[in-house]
Amino acid sequence: MKATPSWAVAVAVFAALAAGACVDRPELTLPTADEVETYYEYADGLEAEVVGNVAVLTVEQSARQLRDGGRLWARVGPYIFLFTDETRRLFEDFPGLAGVRVTTRVGSAQVATAILARDDMPDILWRRSLNIAGKARRDGTQQMTLLEDLVDWGESHTEFEYNPRFTRR
């Protein structure tokens, strides 16, 4: 068997790399803050910004809701917004978006924050997420276990942080 000359190997490698560069790659677009806001409807106050390749939502949470619902309502806040069709569509429409972070606050005090990374939610988990969150939004005030289920799901699929002032027992 005859050995291939090193220049021939170099040409083959270069050709393979050039061919790979010609493959259609999706444009890694990012939304503007205004575009992010248009995905979510929330009357009580929602602000959006894009930091790097992460959409950041800041949502005003009702002080009364926290007083009445206690630590459970403080913890569930970000997940109510993260596990939605709106978040899923943001990821689909903007391939450059790496994550969505939701921070809830009361006045100037941060209550909770959670970030959902694009890669942490494959399609089958999205369906489950939407199911859990939908039930919690629809029936959570009558069935608190649905809110607890959403918190458990959120904590297992996001990076999160809670303000101890609102989540102490």
pLDDT by residue for the chain (169 residues), tens only, comes to: 555 565 555 545 455 555 555 556 567 899 999 999 999 977 678 999 999 999 999 999 888 888 888 899 999 999 999 999 999 999 999 999 999 999 999 989 999 999 999 998 888 899 999 999 999 999 998 999 999 999 999 999 999 999 999 888 6
Torsion, Cα 153 159 164 167, to 10 degrees, reads: -10
d(CA 93, CA 116): 16
Three-state SS across 87-102? HHHHHHHCCCCCEEEE
Q: Which long-range contacts (CB under 8 A, 24 or more apart) does 8-12 make?
A: none
What tokens were used for 163? 């303000």
Query: Does the pTM exceed 0.85?
Result: no
Domain boundaries, the chain: 33-167
